[in-house]
Structure 1
Amino acid sequence: MPGPVFLEGEKVTLRPPEEEDVDLIQCWMNDPSVWRRALDVNPTSRQQCAEFIEDVLQGDDGVHCLACDDSAPLGLVSLNDSQYGPDETSRARDTELAYWFDPDHHGQGYGSDAARRMIQYAFEDRNFRRITARPGSFNDASVGLLESLGFTHEGTLREAAWFRGEYHDMLYYGLLREEWNSQ
């Protein structure tokens, strides 16, 4: 495994992305079953992917981890800085949960385990009060994952996403710390 384990779930370990992961992440970013659901339609070169890893995944804006089964990376799970302020003194204490997984590993519980562990970290270690997520209405698997973790549908941006030749709604989900603690 290229990097040390940062967090451990029941099925996965979470570790920071490293330079050695660029080829795999580039494959995911160019896989239509990943990028179409993530709403990023541009092809990604190796250099662009390396810059994405350095600037975003290894940057100071948020927490980004590869979810791994043993040493094999399965996908990416992130806590992105709040729209209300990225610093630790942000009054809203809000972060956004985001994730994408290799299609070969969908439906096996890896995404749920990685998201659950990242949520626990957000509330217990980072002292966030609220977590949001924004799946497209076409992404039934992501909606199901969020609802299984206790997220509540809070709103809809009508026809805000273009996916496979049609406009779709973007869904806004939220989870408060007290809701998580009561599970």
Structure 2
Amino acid sequence: MPGPVFLRGDSVTLRPAEEEDLAFIRRCMNDPRVWRPALDVNPMNREQGTEFLERVVSDEDGVQCLVCDGDEPLGFVSLTGSRYGPDETSRSRSAELAYWLAPERHGQGYGSDAAARMVRYAFEDRNLRRVGARLGSFNDASAALLESLGFEHEGTLREAAWFRGEYHDVLRYGLLREDWRDRR
């Protein structure tokens, strides 16, 4: 039985991940079409999945949700604290957006809907001033998604990611609340 709905988008719902969702999360996180673009190279077994649920999903400094269509899980979206630590996050009122979808769900608009709903939550409910995101320069689909939401390319970390035998740049994107509000 899926957990309660936390947020509703146009075509998806976002809900907390539960223990029964671990098989789906592990399946996706072990698929190279998910972990490579997510810049993650480690496999996830049952014990690591449980640790992920306890350590990451249950972390009070961020919001991590399963992206669903009805009862069916489609992916994951999160809003986490600044990489500079919790004190910096509270002072700057910023967070980082991340997301992934099951490969069979790519290109169907679910990621855009989930990300847009999480950004709205960040600005309206958490009173954040800024949302950032990072991605490999090879991830054109994610760059297009972010740009469609109003994110701007703010910088490039040259050759900061290893992907399929080569170094690639990591792109940093950001969106300020005032710019988001002007687009609505």
TM-score by structure 1 length?
A: 0.97
Equivalent pairs: percent with the same residue?
Answer: 70
Match of 2:42 in 1: 42
Match of 2:166 in 1: 166
TM-score by structure 2 length?
A: 0.96
Q: Is the CA contact 1:132–1:173 (under 8 Å) kept in the aligned structure 2?
A: yes
* 1:127-180 Cα distance to aligned partner (Å, 9 max, x none): 000000001000000000000000000000000000000100000000000000
Match of 1:106 in 2: 106
Match of 1:131 in 2: 131
* 1:103-142 Cα distance to aligned partner (Å, 9 max, x none): 1001110000000000000000000000000010000000
Distance 1:85 1:163 in 2: 27
Gaps of 5+ in 1: none
Deviation at 1:83, TM superposition (A): 2.8
Gaps of 5+ in 2: none
* 1:61-96 Cα distance to aligned partner (Å, 9 max, x none): 310000100110000000011134426982210100
Q: Is the CA contact 2:128–2:177 (under 8 Å) kept in the aligned structure 1?
A: yes
**Aligned residue pairs, count:** 183
Structure 1 range deviating more: 49-58 or 8-17: 49-58
Match of 1:143 in 2: 143
- Structure 1 vs Structure 2 CA RMSD: 1.3
- Runs of 4+ more than 2 Å apart: 83-89
